[in-house]
């Protein structure tokens, strides 16, 4: 079977037809979805399939009432799709196919054609659920799936509502980005305020890390902002900072680069001490909100 999609990936519909997958495929009862399911068990905005890192496709349930099944199990957090996987929504079973898989690199890094990369500044936001394992032990799978799905959906709406884009889903979290211009600092700060209000009034509890830096971009550049593959030391840095923030129990953590451009927009205070980050020489200072 050949893929009808330029991305090399498609869904086989229960009626036997092919549904080509682009950057984002939304599924649900609302007519605005890519795939409209006129079924009482389908939520208006039920699930989405998101392409990232060149050739990865991730299935995300958006907090639907009746859930999404992935190879028979309810989706409780974003799941990476592989050729032959089955997803079931409102009794409709779709089979995912992908013409070519990503090369195995051994290190988990993304393989990008260097001839199509550029280096640009970006604001980066990393969100991650705190204590996912004990949360999964406390809640039923259905309750956990609805909670995480609603959190992901609200987070995406928050980032996009303040001019950013969700670039990558990460299992227990996601990576958002904004153009790296100084005037975007206010938009990022407003998004952080919204996230803090979210954390105060609802579950799950989560951690946010904000950084401003230069990233290598594959797959488009400015004309496809938010859809590029983001790589490089500054992307790695934000993941290291998230681990440090978890150890220090800092819920909203800012790098020095972010603090320099945003310090007058939010009431930030220094995280006590200087800190080491694996893979990044020297001592580093961080700030919290």
The pLDDT tens digits for 70-120 are 999 999 999 999 999 999 999 999 999 998 654 443 344 444 444 457 889
| pLDDT given at position 22 | 86
d(CA 21, CA 110): 20
| pLDDT given at position 111 | 42
Q: CA angle, corner 202, sides to 184 and 195, nearest 5?
A: 5
| pLDDT given at position 258 | 97
Residues of the chain below pLDDT 50 = 1-3, 102-115, 221-222
Where do the domains of the chain lie, and which CATH numbers do they carry? 9-98 (2.60.200.20), 114-288 (3.30.70.1230)
| pLDDT given at position 171 | 85
How far the first Cα of the chain sits from its last, in Å, is 52
Count CB atoms within 10 A of the CB of residue 107.
Answer: 5
d(CA 57, CA 216): 21
| pLDDT given at position 217 | 86
d(CA 150, CA 38): 21
Residue closest to 25 by CA, chosen among 68, 59, 65: 59
| pLDDT given at position 113 | 45
d(CA 231, CA 80): 19
pLDDT, averaged across the chain: 89
């Amino acid at each position: 079977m050949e893929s009808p999609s330029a991305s090399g990936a498609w869904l086989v519909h229960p009626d036997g037809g092919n549904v080509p997958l682009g950057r984002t495929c939304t599924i649900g009862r609302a007519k605005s979805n890519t795939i409209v399911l006129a079924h009482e068990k389908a939520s208006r905005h039920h699930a989405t399939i998101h392409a990232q890192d060149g050739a990865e496709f991730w299935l995300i349930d958006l907090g639907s009432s009746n859930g999404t099944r992935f190879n028979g199990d309810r989706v409780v957090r974003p799941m990476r799709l592989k050729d032959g996987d089955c997803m079931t929504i409102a009794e409709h079973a779709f089979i995912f196919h992908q013409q070519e898989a990503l090369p195995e690199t051994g290190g988990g890094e993304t393989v990008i054609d260097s001839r199509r990369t550029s280096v640009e500044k970006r604001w980066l936001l990393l969100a991650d659920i705190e204590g996912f394992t004990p949360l999964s032990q406390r809640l039923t799978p259905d309750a956990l799936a609805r909670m995480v799905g609603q959190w992901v959906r609200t987070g995406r709406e928050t980032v996009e509502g303040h001019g950013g884009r969700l670039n990558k889903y990460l299992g227990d979290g996601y990576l958002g980005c904004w153009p790296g211009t100084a005037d975007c600092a206010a938009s990022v700060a407003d998004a952080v305020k919204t996230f803090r209000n979210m954390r105060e009034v609802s579950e799950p509890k989560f951690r946010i890390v904000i950084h401003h830096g230069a990233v290598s971009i594959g797959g488009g550049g400015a004309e496809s902002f938010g859809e590029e593959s983001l790589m490089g030391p500054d992307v790695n840095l934000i993941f290291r900072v998230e681990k440090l923030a978890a150890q220090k129990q800092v819920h909203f953590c800012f790098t020095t680069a972010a603090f320099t451009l945003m310090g007058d927009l939010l009431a930030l205070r220094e995280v006590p001490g200087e800190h080491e980050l694996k893979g990044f020489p020297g001592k580093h200072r961080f700030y919290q909100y």
